[in-house]
Amino acid sequence: MSAIQPPANPEEKPRVKAVFDDIRATRGSDFINNIWRYLAFDADLLERTWSEVKAVMATPSALDPLTKELLYLAVSIINNCNYCIHSHSAGARAKGMTDEMHVEVLKIVSLAAKTNHLSNAMQVPVDPEFMVGE
C-alpha cells in the first residue's frame, strides 16, 4: 500500500537505532509510529526530520505543547495528509485536547478555508493598516 519499502529491521543500522532511542526517551514511550519506520529507509532524512521535530515541537518555547500540536493538526488537515491527520489528532488528545477543543479546531479550520477562498475569489486588496514591512 505504501510507495516505498521500509526496512524490515530498521534498528540494525546504528544511526537509525540512535534516533529511535531518542524518540523513545523524548516521549517516554516504547511506541515508534510508522512515519519514523518509513523515514528509516534513509538515515540522513530520518535524523534531520527528527531533529527538527524535536527542536520545534518537543522543546519548551513561547507556545505551549498543546497549542503547537493543534497548529500541526490544522496544517495537516488543509494539506489533506491522511496519516498526519490521524497521528496529530491522536497526539493532540494525548496532550490534553478535549472533544470540545477538537470541535473548535474543526470549526476554525473550515471557517478559515471558507473565508480564504472568498477573499481569493474577490481578490480583496490588502488594507494599508495591515502592512508592516516595506
* Of residues 7-46, those binding a second copy (CB under 8 A): 31, 33-35, 38-39, 41-42, 44-45
- How far apart, in whole angstroms, are the C-alpha atoms of residue 8 and residue 94? 28
Select 15 or 114, whichever has its Cβ closest to a second copy.
114
The least distance separating a second copy from the CB of residue 48, rounded to whole angstroms, comes to 7
- How far apart, in whole angstroms, are the C-alpha atoms of residue 88 and residue 74? 9
Dmax (CA) of the chain: 58
The least distance separating a second copy from the CB of residue 20, rounded to whole angstroms, comes to 15
Q: Is 3 among the residues that bind a second copy (CB under 8 A)?
A: yes
Select 4 or 25, whichever has its Cβ closest to a second copy.
4
The least distance separating a second copy from the CB of residue 25, rounded to whole angstroms, comes to 19
CB 85, CB 72: distance < 8 Å: no
- How far apart, in whole angstroms, are the C-alpha atoms of residue 117 and residue 109? 12
Report the site for a second copy in 55-84 (rule: CB under 8 A). 55-57, 61-63, 67-68, 70-72, 74-84
Total residue count of the chain as it appears in this document: 134
